[in-house]
Amino acid sequence: MNNRVVITGLGVVAPNGTNVPDFLEAIQNGVSGIKQFPEYEELKFNCQVGGVPDFEWDLLRNYITETSLYGLKSKGIAYGIKAALDAWTDAGNEIVGEQPLWDSGCVFGSSVADTDVIKNAITRVDAHESKKLGSRVVEQIMNSGVTAYISGRLGLANKIINNSAACATGTQSIFMGYEYIKYGMAKRMLVGSCEFVDKYVFGGFDSMRVLSRKYNDEPERASRPMSASAGGFVPGSGAGALVLEDMEYALARGAKIYGEVLGGSTNSGGQRNGGSMTAPSSKGVVRCIQDAMADAGITPDAIDLVCGHLTATIADKMEIQNWVTALGRTGDDFPVVNSLKSMVGHSLSAAGSIETVAAVLQLKYNFAHPNLNLEDPMPEILDAIGENNLPTTKLDRQINTVAKANFGFGDVNACLILSKFN
């Protein structure tokens, strides 16, 4: 079986827009969602900026029942619920039906369960007050909390899977959903990922010295993918979601179609050949991108836009080199490249899904969003692909095919090939 898989719904909660229309406007205009956090200075973090969605908690009343909302504390789950349900309704579906939807499933990713919820549990237990924890703690500290909330609200009854692959999580979730539909195991998959980077997770990365620290007073300049003056990434939070659907199923119900998932791949470099816990092996990355193109049945020349992982560390130049090797294209012949992280930071597990939502919007509306703060591209990147493919303002151009990839700790890779629907 080889079903075609189309994208029929989008939802997003990002630092520069908490719904699709606002997010679209923000990425077209290069609006940064990075802000300074005085608390981080007090905590003696090297990096004192971050990307946090301007999230209205009260809006959740329109998404889940009042009893479910009462006691919900996890921000990651909250972002996930909103993005997922927005995608579901954007695809023209209703929120509540009486019957389980046996043909519709969910793959939603996350990396760390909400540590504020965990902290509350730790504090209570250590104070010998475990009996006061109540019934709502476990569902919010279990990693599958977000999928449990989403699938329960919508009655999704096919595969319900919470996946985790560090910064490759979101892209991998989408790929998994695509495969289930492609091979006939489901008709519809609600896919995506969420992340809330609180101070405890933030501190871990800060201590690794991989975060931006030179632009604490100029937060909007702090996330600088591919820039020679980049000194690390800016942590971000949010969620992204897509409804993937069997093409025949979508056409039969007259659904609006944003585009098609032509193919993809997820693999690992095996933490060999230069790959490690924290660094991707180039061999693995190149293979992942090439496998994705093979799965999509396209040649490298078809790709118009590369939406990279590109976090704003020294690994960016290696990533560009890997794309060059995988596509066999260089200089002006290379596709346009951008990194959404220049506007929203790096939202870890959520990065892949938020960035894929951005990729689908660029595909649908024919533009490449700007790379913010790319005044000084790394010389190695200029040598490899020149500067014409690195837009710093919105580039209006026919975009037919996009390659989207993310790479995560553990040397895990995921790549998607998205195209216009024909």
User: Which residues would be at the binding site for other proteins (CB under 8 A)?
Assistant: 65-67, 70-71, 131-132, 134-136
136/199 with CB nearer other proteins: 136
Q: Which two tokens stand for residue 118?
A: 């965990």
Using the structure block, give the residue that is written with the tokens 């216009």: 420
Whether 238 and 387 have beta carbons less than 8 Å apart is answered as no
Smallest gap, in angstroms, from Cβ of residue 136 to other proteins? Answer: 7
SS3 content of the chain, % helix, strand, coil (to 5): 40, 20, 40
CB within 8 A of 216, min separation 6: which ones?
A: 36, 41, 47, 48, 49, 222
Task: Specify the pairing of strand 401-408 against strand 305-307.
Answer: parallel
In the chain, what is the greatest distance between 2 CA atoms, to the nearest angstrom?
65
42/66 with CB nearer other proteins: 66
64/292 with CB nearer other proteins: 64
CA distance linking residue 122 with residue 54, whole number of Å: 28
44/131 with CB nearer other proteins: 131
71/270 with CB nearer other proteins: 71
Smallest gap, in angstroms, from Cβ of residue 124 to other proteins? Answer: 11
120/216 with CB nearer other proteins: 120
| Amino acid making up residue 327 | L
Task: Specify the pairing of strand 395-396 against strand 367-368.
Answer: antiparallel
65/207 with CB nearer other proteins: 65
Smallest gap, in angstroms, from Cβ of residue 58 to other proteins? Answer: 15
21/70 with CB nearer other proteins: 70
255, 287, 269: which is closest to 87 by C-alpha? 255
Smallest gap, in angstroms, from Cβ of residue 87 to other proteins? Answer: 25
Smallest gap, in angstroms, from Cβ of residue 71 to other proteins? Answer: 7
Smallest gap, in angstroms, from Cβ of residue 132 to other proteins? Answer: 6
CB within 8 A of 333, min separation 6: which ones?
A: none
Secondary structure class of 6 (helix, strand, coil): strand
CB within 8 A of 62, min separation 6: which ones?
A: none
Secondary structure class of 313 (helix, strand, coil): coil
Smallest gap, in angstroms, from Cβ of residue 140 to other proteins? Answer: 13
CA distance linking residue 307 with residue 91, whole number of Å: 24
Smallest gap, in angstroms, from Cβ of residue 73 to other proteins? Answer: 13
